[in-house]
Amino acid sequence: MRTRSKDALVHDLPISALGAGLSLDFELPRELEAAEPPEARGLARDQVRLMVSRRRDDWVEHILFRDLPQVLSPGDLLVINTSGTLKAALKAWRADQTPLEVHVSTHLPADLWIVELRQPAANASLPFHAGLAGETLRLEGGGTLKLHVPYRRERSLPDDGPVRLWIATFALPVPLLSYLELHGFPIRYSYVGQAWPLEYYQTVYATEPGSAEMPSAGRAFTPELLTRLVAKGVQVAPLVLHTGVASLEEHEPPYEEFYRVPLDTARMVNAARQAGRRIIAVGTTVVRALETVTDGASVTHPGEGWTREIITPGRGVRAVDGLLTGLHEPRASHLAMLEALAGRRHLQLTYAEALSERYLWHEFGDLHLLLP
């Protein structure tokens, strides 16, 4: 059975009736792509909708995100990603004055960066695959960007395929983070109708700038909601994973991203696991970081570095019991992680439910809490 909210009627239609035949290659109607922040729709951050699902019996409930304390229990551990979002998009020009947009993604050792080239368009930008190895792009304020070699991680694009990502170096008059603050702007995709200031792309608990795109599963939290959760006995533990740029058009597997899991967080995760309390990741970034430092005996260790961990159904999930996440695009690589946690059938059922209930997708949209 499913319920729509605590104030709504309980419906006798089983969720399986909606999910029958739905694959993860579903059609996402354009009107379900959140084109603006909830604040622009007259809502507070925590007034987005939350679909709560329980994989063991396919139970589903629809509530507002601000009612999250109703479905969490004392002793539950929320693990959050405190990475802050950068103004990671820059204007650039080729030698022939062709304008481009550069999305600054991932900081690698030796001060190398993974960057994506984009072509400016009327609304946001489009992929650009015509960059050249050795090419230097002009940036604003006297800066330059040199493209060295295409970035091709294992299991990604063939050597003769189109190049989306590059290994590059910057030559700038000030440190890169300062330069981005001066000349950058938030990465925006075509489904977002207009540019929004950086504060709309920050979680309230962001402390360390470094993400190319917002770790958006945490966007709906407010200080008041966090206070209510802690007062109920829900524990909160931080880690950092700096997100790279998404592959919205190509749906490539994720590549390496910098993470840091503090000792105190590892201890809290292990204590919760040993006590049989639920460990709930706030976002796929948290799952990736914790899975990187959790061994085969399900012991979580502190650590930092660049993770290349890819979570698939075949690999499975050992670090967390639940996941708070947004709704992911058809064929998105993150769906494999969700399937590893919840199983394909439950994922099909809940996505059919989200489509039926007209949930909104993407970073400004609604959320899904997957519970065991």
Q: Which domain holds residue 158?
A: 89-183
Average pLDDT of the chain, as a whole number: 90
Locate 184 and state its tokens: 């950058």
Same-domain status, 121 and 242: no
121 pLDDT band (50/70/90 cuts)? confident
Q: In Å, how far are 285, 296, 311, 337, 347 from 315, measured between CA atoms? A: 17, 11, 6, 9, 17
146: CATH: 2.40.10
pLDDT, residue 252, reads 63
Q: What percent of the chain shows pLDDT beyond 70?
A: 90
340: CATH: 3.40.1780.10
In a domain, 189, yes or no: no
Last residue of a domain, one of 159, 183, 207: 183
**Better pLDDT: 155 or 13:** 155
- Mean pLDDT for the stretch of residues 184-189: 95
Same-domain status, 107 and 76: no
Same-domain status, 71 and 211: yes
Reply yes or no on whether the pLDDT at 40 is more than 90: yes
- Mean pLDDT for the stretch of residues 216-244: 98
Last residue of a domain, one of 161, 183, 205: 183
| Counted domains in the chain | 2
In a domain, 175, yes or no: yes
| Pairing mode, strands 10-11 and 77-81 | unpaired
152 pLDDT band (50/70/90 cuts)? confident
pLDDT, residue 331, reads 76
Same-domain status, 51 and 150: no
In a domain, 44, yes or no: yes
Reply yes or no on whether the pLDDT at 326 is more than 60: yes
What is the three-class DSSP state of 355? helix
Strand partners, 102: 90, 117
- Mean pLDDT for the stretch of residues 354-360: 97
* 169: Cα separation from own chain's centroid: 25
In a domain, 75, yes or no: yes
110 pLDDT band (50/70/90 cuts)? very high
Same-domain status, 104 and 47: no
Same-domain status, 179 and 199: no
Same-domain status, 216 and 69: yes
pLDDT, residue 22, reads 41
Q: What is the pLDDT of residues 260-274, one digit of tens each?
A: 999 999 999 999 999
Q: Name the DSSP class of 228.
A: H
Same-domain status, 213 and 292: yes
Q: Name the DSSP class of 359.
A: P
250 pLDDT band (50/70/90 cuts)? low
State the sign of the Cα–Cα–Cα–Cα dihedral 125, 126, 132, 133: positive
Same-domain status, 102 and 149: yes
What is the three-class DSSP state of 356? helix
In a domain, 116, yes or no: yes
Last residue of a domain, one of 134, 162, 183: 183
- Mean pLDDT for the stretch of residues 218-239: 99
Q: What is the pLDDT of residues 54-78, one digit of tens each?
A: 999 999 999 999 999 999 999 999 9
Burial degree of 136 (CB within 10 A; 0-12, 13-18, 19+): middle
Same-domain status, 98 and 71: no
In a domain, 47, yes or no: yes
In 3-state terms the chain splits into helix, strand, coil percentages (rounded to 5) of 25, 30, 45
Reply yes or no on whether the pLDDT at 145 is more than 60: yes
Q: What is the pLDDT of residues 196-209, one digit of tens each?
A: 999 999 999 999 99
- Mean pLDDT for the stretch of residues 235-242: 99
Burial degree of 158 (CB within 10 A; 0-12, 13-18, 19+): exposed
- Mean pLDDT for the stretch of residues 169-198: 96
Per the CB < 8 A criterion, the answer to whether 201 and 188 are in contact is no
In a domain, 188, yes or no: no
- Mean pLDDT for the stretch of residues 239-253: 76
Same-domain status, 303 and 213: yes
In a domain, 70, yes or no: yes
pLDDT, residue 158, reads 54
What is the three-class DSSP state of 114? strand
Reply yes or no on whether the pLDDT at 168 is more than 90: yes
pLDDT, residue 24, reads 72
pLDDT, residue 5, reads 36
Q: What percent of the chain shows pLDDT beyond 90?
A: 81
Same-domain status, 95 and 81: no
Q: What is the pLDDT of residues 208-222, one digit of tens each?
A: 999 999 999 999 999
